[in-house]
Every structure is written in structure tokens, then in C-alpha cells.
């Protein structure tokens, strides 16, 4: 129980990957934590079979892996479901190349490709064993704030009070809207089409990315064995066409768009589509409120950094509250401002970089097309510049 008439210190609304990791980190910091979500907080009980793969995967950076290891979640991931990205080859829409190597950067991997359900299966048991109060499934009804606490009222009439509420409920955050935090959302005019494939040739731990002539961006991410996951950020009309294709036809299109770099493809998961938006907020905090993950920001997936920014939020907020010293109230404005300052620069830098690249490669003017490819090729010849670009994503 928390002091000040609240049921707990921190109430996290949203039990996605970021919400789960944050809940466990805060509980480890000695805070009384509650977790609420519209869906049941469950994970797949039995391990997936070798021919059963989750279409939704994440590129987990070394920095995020370190945070998850500190929570005990990384160690719980089955090694045969992890694929290290040991190198990356990026090709511009006029043939320019940019290559990154984990070896050259002194890293074991540039990132680790992990299925969403594997991460969830690692985090849920930790949360359940940490004494965290779980309220799910439930329907959020209203938010209210007072001098000493904040309260989330549920549709069944119950009321959950905390010293601070954390919105971790995704890009279309109910918490953000209910708290009156205005988000500026702008569509990229693209939908990310995702699916997994068996490939004819071994990928050797290399990720591929192509900036396409139509403004789209195609990424191939290595999975264990001769398998890849694709994220095709396609213009809306093309995306709808791709989502309507049969698995065999989609495999042919995806292999051809990637110049058959890994030979023929065979689809092993259904495709899914996710509309892409940039989401910015003047501030990710309010009165006794903090936002994390996609509720706090949205970035283009071309750098694969969305979930990593979320884990960065979770690490920063848990660190700020753990190190609050004699300040007993975890919802104190000073602490929330400290969290906001800590996250402002890395989030803005990643949003600016991904937004600029997505929009730059969407421009079809010939001289701009030539200039951007010349610039990409020039960066590839500058080791210091490549290292600076990579370090932001790695950490």
C-alpha cells in the first residue's frame, strides 16, 4: 500500500512489452505497483514449434538487451528463437550502399531479432512473481487527478488510485487523450506490411534495407535458420495490394523487390499491416502522469527503434524513481520533470532522423535523388560518421 490515500505508488495503464518491463523494474526498485489493461495479461504457455513463428518481431538493441537482462527477462528467452544482426546492408534508390558491421563497432550484434510473443512470455512470469497487482481485463472509464494522487475509474465502478499513473497503452493511447495531452500525429501515407519467410540461401546474420523508387522502404531481418522477417513500409495503394496477395504471390513479390538477394522465398506466416504515423507531444508528462512507449512518441520503423525508445523510457523512469532519495512521493513534479528531461533529447533525435530520412527518400526530384545517394555513399566511406550513426541506435 502507498501513503497519501493511494492504493499503490505507481499504476501502469497498459500491459504491452514496455508496460510489463517498467512494472517489473519499478517493483524491483521497492515501489508498490499495479498494472491495468483491457486484455488479459497472459503469455503463450508452450514453446513455439520450429515451423510456428510470430509475424511481429522486434530488433532489440544492445542497450535494450542490457536493460531486459537487468530485469531477468533476457535470460529467459529461448536461445534458438533469437537471431543476431551481425551486419546490415542499406541500398539507396539509385544504387548507393551503406554497410554496418557489429565486428567493426566492437559489438556482438547490431541488434537481436526477437518475436513479440517470446518477449512477452519472458516478461509476464516476472511481473506475476513480483507481487504486482494486476487488474485485467478491464475497461478504462475515466481519469481524475488531485493534489496527492491520481485515479483511474473502471467500467465496473471500481477505482484504482496511485501517486502517479503511467500511460503505456500504445499509439492510440486512451490515457493520453483522457489526460488532455494533445499529440500531433501525421500520417506517412504508408503501411508497414510484415510477414516471415523461409529463404533459399543463408542470410549469415545480415539485415538488408532498400529505399525503393516509389518512396517505400523494404527491410529484411534475419530470423534463426534460413528465415527472414520483412517490414515493407509501402505507399498505401501498394500496401493494400500486398495485403490482398496469396502467401505464394507475396513471397514472389518480396523476394523480387529485394533483388533475390537470398534466392526464392516461401511464406511461413500470414501478412499483417500497420499504418505508419509520426506522433509528437509537447511533453510526455502531466500532473501525476507520465507516458512511455508509443503513447509518448511515434517514429518511422526504418531504423527499427520504436520498441527500443520505449524500453529507454522504462529504464529512465524506473531509474529516476529508484534514485529519488528522500523525496518519498514518486509523483512529485520534480521527478516527472527529471524523467521528461532525460528522455527529450534521445527521442527528439531519433524522431528527427527517421522522419527526415523517410521524407527525403519520398521526394522524386532527380537532383535530390542523386544527392541523397551520393550522401549515403559518402557516409559509407567515413568510419567515424558511421560509428556516430550506429551508436545512437545501439544504446
pLDDT for 134 beyond 90 = yes
Alpha-carbon distance 212 to 214, whole Å? Answer: 5
In a domain, 317, yes or no: yes
Q: Is the pLDDT of residue 48 over 70?
A: no
Give the number of domains in the chain.
1
How high is the mean pLDDT of the chain? 92
Lowest average pLDDT, out of 33-42, 142-151, 305-314, 348-357, goes to: 348-357
pLDDT at 274 over 60: yes
206-251 pLDDT, tens digit per residue, is 999 999 989 899 999 999 999 999 999 999 999 999 999 999 999 9
Q: Does residue 152 sit within a domain?
A: yes
Task: Report if residue 194 sits inside a domain.
Answer: yes
Q: Is the pLDDT reported for residue 1 higher than 80? A: no
Which has more pLDDT, 43 or 5?
Answer: 43
Q: How far apart are CA 23 and CA 132, in angstroms?
A: 8
| Cα dist from 340 to 28, 86, 152, 292, whole Å | 22, 33, 22, 10
Q: Give the model's pLDDT for residue 391.
A: 73
Which run of H or E residues covers position 247? helix 247-257
Find where cell 509528437 sits: 280
- The Cα–Cα gap between 32 and 20 comes to 14
Average pLDDT of the residues in 155-168: 96
pLDDT top residue among 304 and 16:
16
48: which DSSP letter? Answer: P
- Is 60 a domain residue? yes
Residue-wise pLDDT tens digits, 81-92: 999 999 999 998
d(CA 276, CA 291): 20
Does 360 map to a domain? Answer: yes
Checking if the pLDDT of 47 tops 70, the result is no
Burial of residue 24, with CB atoms counted within 10 A of its CB: 0-12 exposed, 13-18 middle, 19 or more buried: buried
Give the whole-angstrom CA distance, residue 32 versus residue 7.
Answer: 9
User: Which residue bears the cell 545517394?
Assistant: 373
Place 371 in a pLDDT band, splitting at 50, 70 and 90: confident
The pTM of the full predicted model, rounded to 2 decimals, is 0.93
Percent of the chain with pLDDT over 70: 96
Return the percentage of the chain with pLDDT > 90, whole number: 75
Residue 21: inside a domain, yes or no? yes
Region 116-127: what's the mean pLDDT? 96
Query: What does DSSP say about strands 150-154 and 87-91: parallel, antiparallel, or unpaired?
Result: unpaired
Range of the domain at 264: 8-394
Taking alpha carbons only, the member of 94, 6, 48 closest to residue 368 is: 94
The DSSP symbol for 298 reads B
Does 3 reside within a domain?
no
Backbone angles phi, psi at 93, to 5 degrees: -80, 5
Give tens-digit pLDDT for 286-299.
999 999 999 999 99
How many Cβ atoms sit within 10 Å of the Cβ of residue 280?
16
Does residue 279 lie within any of the structural domains? yes
State residue 168's pLDDT score. 98
Between 278 and 130, residue with greater pLDDT: 130
Q: What is the pLDDT of residue 65?
A: 97
C-alpha cell of residue 262: 537470398
Report the CATH number at residue 104.
3.50.50.60
Amino acid at each position: 500500500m502507498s501513503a497519501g490515500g493511494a492504493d499503490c505508488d505507481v499504476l501502469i495503464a497498459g500491459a504491452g512489452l514496455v508496460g510489463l518491463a517498467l512494472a517489473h523494474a519499478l517493483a524491483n526498485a521497492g515501489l508498490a505497483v499495479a498494472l491495468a489493461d483491457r486484455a488479459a495479461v497472459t503469455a503463450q504457455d508452450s514453446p513455439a514449434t520450429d515451423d510456428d513463428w510470430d509475424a511481429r518481431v522486434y530488433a532489440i538493441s544492445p542497450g535494450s538487451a542490457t536493460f531486459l537482462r537487468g530485469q531477468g527477462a533476457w535470460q529467459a528467452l529461448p536461445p534458438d528463437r533469437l537471431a543476431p544482426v551481425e551486419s546490415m546492408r542499406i541500398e539507396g534508390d539509385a544504387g548507393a550502399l551503406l554497410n554496418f558491421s557489429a565486428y567493426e563497432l566492437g559489438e556482438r550484434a547490431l541488434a537481436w531479432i526477437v518475436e513479440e510473443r517470446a518477449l512477452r512470455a519472458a516478461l509476464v512470469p516476472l511481473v506475476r512473481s513480483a507481487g504486482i497487482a494486476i487488474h485485467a481485463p478491464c475497461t478504462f472509464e475515466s481519469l481524475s487527478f488531485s493534489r496527492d494522487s491520481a485515479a483511474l475509474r473502471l467500467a465496473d465502478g471500481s477505482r484504482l488510485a496511485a501517486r502517479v499513473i503511467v500511460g503505456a497503452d500504445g499509439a492510440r493511447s486512451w490515457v493520453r487523450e483522457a489526460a488532455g495531452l494533445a499529440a500531433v500525429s501525421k500520417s506517412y501515407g504508408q503501411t508497414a506490411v510484415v510477414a516471415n519467410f523461409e529463404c533459399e540461401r543463408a542470410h549469415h546474420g545480415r539485415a538488408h534495407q532498400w529505399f525503393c523508387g516509389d518512396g517505400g522502404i523494404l527491410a529484411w531481418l534475419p530470423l534463426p535458420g534460413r528465415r527472414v522477417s520483412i517490414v515493407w513500409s509501402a505507399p498505401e495503394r501498394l500496401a493494400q495490394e500486398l495485403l490482398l496477395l496469396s502467401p505464394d504471390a507475396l513471397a514472389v513479390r518480396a523476394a523480387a523487390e529485394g533483388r533475390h538477394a537470398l534466392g526464392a522465398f516461401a511464406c511461413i506466416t500470414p501478412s499483417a499491416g500497420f499504418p505508419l504515423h509520426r506522433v509528437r507531444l509537447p511533453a510526455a508528462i502531466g500532473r501525476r502522469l507520465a507516458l512511455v512507449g508509443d503513447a509518448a512518441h511515434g517514429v518511422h520503423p526504418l531504423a527499427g527503434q520504436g520498441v527500443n525508445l520505449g524500453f529507454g523510457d522504462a529504464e529512465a523512469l524506473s531509474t529516476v524513481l529508484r534514485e529519488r532519495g528522500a523525496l518519498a512521493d514518486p509523483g512529485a513534479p520534480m521527478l516527472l520533470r527529471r524523467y521528461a528531461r532525460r528522455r527529450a533529447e534521445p527521442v527528439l533525435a531519433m524522431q528527427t532522423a527517421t522522419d527526415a530520412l523517410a521524407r527525403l527518400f519520398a521526394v522524386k526530384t532527380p537532383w535530390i535523388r542523386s544527392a541523397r545517394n551520393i550522401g549515403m555513399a559518402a557516409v559509407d566511406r567515413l568510419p567515424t560518421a558511421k560509428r556516430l550513426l550506429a551508436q545512437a541506435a545501439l544504446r
